[in-house]
Structure 1
Amino acid sequence: MNLGPVELILILVVILLLFGARKLPELARGLGQSAREFKKGIAEDKDTVEAPKENKPS
């Protein structure tokens, strides 16, 4: 699915109408924090999965 510029502008206008201009910075900040937490959780999970492989006796 490929979104063109017209579709993106339409989506942004709908979001602006739904949440209002004052709430958009808070929404963006919350999304950024959520993305950071998600990446952090993925990295921690990857570390815990890889750690037992290193400790296996040969």
Structure 2
Amino acid sequence: MFGLGWLEVGLIALAAVLVFGPKKIPELGSALGKTLRGFKDELQKPDEEEPQDLE
């Protein structure tokens, strides 16, 4: 996972809890998931705005 071990992931999670607080972490995860889903949907959507040849 990006070259990170379990110790590094645990330290990052601990730092996130200390900075944002335990109540804010689920909200941040939800917002991140919605953002990533939106980007994925944008990339998979066919380009409808491309100009068509009128010839």
> Does TM, scored on the shorter chain, surpass 0.5?
yes
Q: Which has the higher contact order (CA 8 A, sep 6+)?
A: 2
Post-superposition CA distance 1:8-42 (Å, at most 9, x none): 10000000101000001100110010011000111
Deviation at 1:48, TM superposition (A): 1.3
Q: List gaps (5 residues or longer) in structure 2.
A: none
Match of residue 17 from structure 1:
18
Please tell me the residue identity of whatever aligns with 2:31.
G
| Identical-pair percentage | 35
Please tell me the residue identity of whatever aligns with 1:26.
E
Higher helix share: 1
Q: List gaps (5 residues or longer) in structure 1.
A: none
- Counting matched residue pairs gives 51
Root mean square deviation of aligned Cα: 2.1
